[in-house]
């Protein structure tokens, strides 16, 4: 059994051969104007800069929002424009959780290869993939929102422009148009991204194209990111950590906490970038690679009730120790469980408090809107909600009236309370995730031990194939 362990872990540390025929696809943006936050755009622009700095100017395709079509496709916070400030009370009345300063504009990406509306995107991708030469190395990077299929999480989906959806099976079908000897790697930081594990077709991996990938969260969890936050210091999404590791600098050009190049070959592989993210990301995300998910999903039912025994020979145990060390935690199960129990109770209480404030905001908004309907029966409030600029005179009149109401001051107070409550909640959720990560990798070290004892030779070959695929990808 020791021999098998050395073979598997050796893949991580041995010198790795990287492909020279690399091609990248950047796909990004929201599914509609009101859900296409500026952070998504900033991530895509940063990734494009990385590709340019790496010399891949002619080796990538970029699809974003509306593409080259005229119009707006990006939502952002703008407090500098007079018309935004003059209508802030009206906006507070009609926005979720009384958010103000929301504005819209066209994306600032200089040139795209098209938009992300599903039909158009699939047509473009099919054309792109069919034109690839043999032995192509393909990296698909998505920055946007993900959807959850509650009835079938194997069919979770990407949310594309014009509120269209691209499911796991649909993406699998389009990837099938790549050359038979191509290698495909995907990097998916969106909510519910774990569902895309099924792109590898577990059980028949050896009969398919080489494919592997990295996902920010499980198939049932929401991910960090996709906010209106504009301070890059606060970006905690998977993209931010993963690609910082790949270039060995954070997105502001600062040095990283440690060198992500684990095998000292002067090249950071995708797997090394993923491991760096696992160790040092202070976010809600508990990210996963396809090889890790393969182990977790392999675990037979009859072993799920077995006692989890520490497997200190496993590299997964090393990851657990380093996560614990970075977060001032212990690997002792009893100590972890105690901390988890206390923090989980605090998180639940904070979620409840945040929910109560959300309800107060909603009730106060409805109360003021009812007042407006009585006070201004001849004004089209629906129009003012959708596009106040089309009736700017009445919009300004009603905005002034709203600010005179006692309820408006209360709504403003609730809005600030919500921001602070939400900020504290996210901080607690991030701390809870670190405990969960230590638990997860301790368990993975045990699953690996069971895997080496009970897995078939074909299953071990599949796992090794995924590890090799993950560790041989880079920029």
Domain ranges of the chain: 21-322+445-471, 333-426
Which of 127-136, 219-228, 359-368 comes out lowest in average pLDDT? 219-228
For residue 6, name the pLDDT band (cuts at 50, 70, 90).
very low
Class of domain 21-322+445-471: alpha beta
Give residue-wise pLDDT tens across range 281-320.
Answer: 999 999 999 999 999 999 998 888 877 788 999 999 999 9
Q: Does the pLDDT value for residue 10 go beyond 80?
A: no
Residue range 400-427: average pLDDT?
A: 95
What's CA 424's distance to the chain center, in Å? 21
Residues written for the chain: 475
Q: Specify the pTM.
A: 0.92
Please give the pLDDT value at position 225: 78
Share of the chain above pLDDT 70, in %: 92
Which segments within 12-162 are labelled E, that is strand?
Answer: 22-29, 60-64, 74-77, 102-105, 137-147, 157-160
Q: 74 φ, ψ to 5°?
A: -135, 130
Q: What is the DSSP string of 312-340?
A: TTSHHHHHHHHHHHHTT----HHHHHHHH
Chain-centroid distance of CA 458 in Å reads 32
Weakest-pLDDT range from 143-157, 246-260, 376-390: 376-390
pLDDT (mean) for 64-81 = 89
260: how many CB neighbours lie within 10 A of its CB?
Answer: 23
Residue 80: pLDDT band (50, 70, 90) is: low
Above 70 in pLDDT, residue 266?
yes
Q: Which has more pLDDT, 70 or 6?
A: 70
At residue 457 the predicted structure's pLDDT band, cuts being 50, 70 and 90, is very high
Q: For position 233, what pLDDT does the model report?
A: 55
241 membership: H or E segment, kind and range: helix 238-247
Of 249, 255, 288, 248, the closest CA to residue 271 belongs to 288
User: For 152-182, how does the pLDDT look when each residue is reduced to its tens digit (9 = 90+)?
Assistant: 999 999 999 999 999 999 999 999 999 888 9
CA distance 299 to 448: 9
181 Cβ contact partners less than 8 Å away, ≥ 6 residues apart: 134, 135, 209
């Amino acid at each position: 059994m020791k021999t098998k362990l050395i073979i598997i872990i050796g893949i991580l540390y041995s010198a790795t051969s990287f492909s020279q025929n690399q091609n990248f696809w950047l796909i990004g943006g929201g599914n509609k104007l009101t859900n296409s936050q500026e952070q998504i755009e900033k991530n895509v622009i940063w990734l494009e800069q990385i590709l340019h700095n790496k010399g891949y100017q002619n080796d990538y395709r970029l699809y974003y929002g509306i593409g080259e079509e005229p119009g707006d496709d990006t939502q952002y916070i703008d407090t500098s424009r007079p018309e935004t400030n003059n209508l802030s009370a009206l906006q507070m009345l009609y926005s979720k959780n009384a958010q103000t300063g929301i504005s819209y504009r066209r994306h600032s990406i200089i040139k795209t290869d098209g938009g992300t509306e599903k039909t158009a995107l699939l047509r473009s991708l099919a054309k792109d993939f069919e034109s690839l030469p043999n032995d192509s190395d393909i990296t698909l990077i998505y920055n946007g929102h993900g959807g959850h299929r509650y009835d079938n999480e194997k069919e979770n989906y990407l949310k594309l422009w014009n509120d269209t959806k691209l499911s796991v099976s649909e993406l699998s079908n389009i990837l099938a148009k790549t050359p038979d000897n191509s290698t495909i790697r995907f990097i998916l930081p969106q909510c519910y991204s774990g569902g895309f594990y099924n792109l590898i077709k577990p059980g028949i991996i050896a009969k398919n194209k080489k494919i592997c990938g990295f996902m920010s969260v499980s198939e049932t969890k929401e991910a960090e990111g996709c906010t209106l936050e504009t301070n890059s210091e606060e970006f905690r999404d998977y993209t931010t950590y993963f690609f910082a590791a790949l270039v060995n600098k954070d997105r502001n050009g600062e040095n990283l906490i440690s060198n992500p190049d684990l095998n000292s070959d002067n090249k950071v592989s995708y797997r090394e970038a993923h491991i760096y993210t696992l160790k040092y990301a202070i976010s809600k995300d508990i990210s996963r690679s396809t090889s890790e998910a393969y182990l977790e999903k392999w675990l037979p039912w009859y072993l799920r009730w077995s006692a989890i025994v520490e497997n200190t020979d496993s590299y997964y145990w090393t990851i657990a120790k380093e996560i614990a060390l970075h977060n001032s935690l212990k690997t002792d199960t009893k100590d972890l469980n105690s901390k988890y129990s206390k923090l989980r109770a605090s998180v639940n209480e904070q979620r409840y408090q945040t929910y109560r404030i959300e309800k107060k905001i909603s009730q106060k908004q409805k109360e003021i809107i009812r007042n407006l309907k009585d006070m201004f029966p001849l004004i089209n409030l629906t129009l003012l909600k959708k596009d106040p600029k089309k009736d700017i005179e009445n919009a300004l009149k009603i905005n002034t009236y709203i600010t005179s109401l006692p309820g408006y001051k209360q709504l403003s107070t609730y809005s600030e309370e919500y921001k602070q409550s939400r900020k504290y909640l996210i901080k607690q959720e991030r701390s809870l995730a670190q405990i969960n990560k230590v638990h997860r990798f301790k368990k993975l070290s045990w699953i690996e031990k069971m895997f080496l004892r009970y897995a078939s030779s074909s299953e071990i070959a599949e796992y090794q194939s995924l590890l090799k695929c993950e560790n041989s990808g880079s920029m």
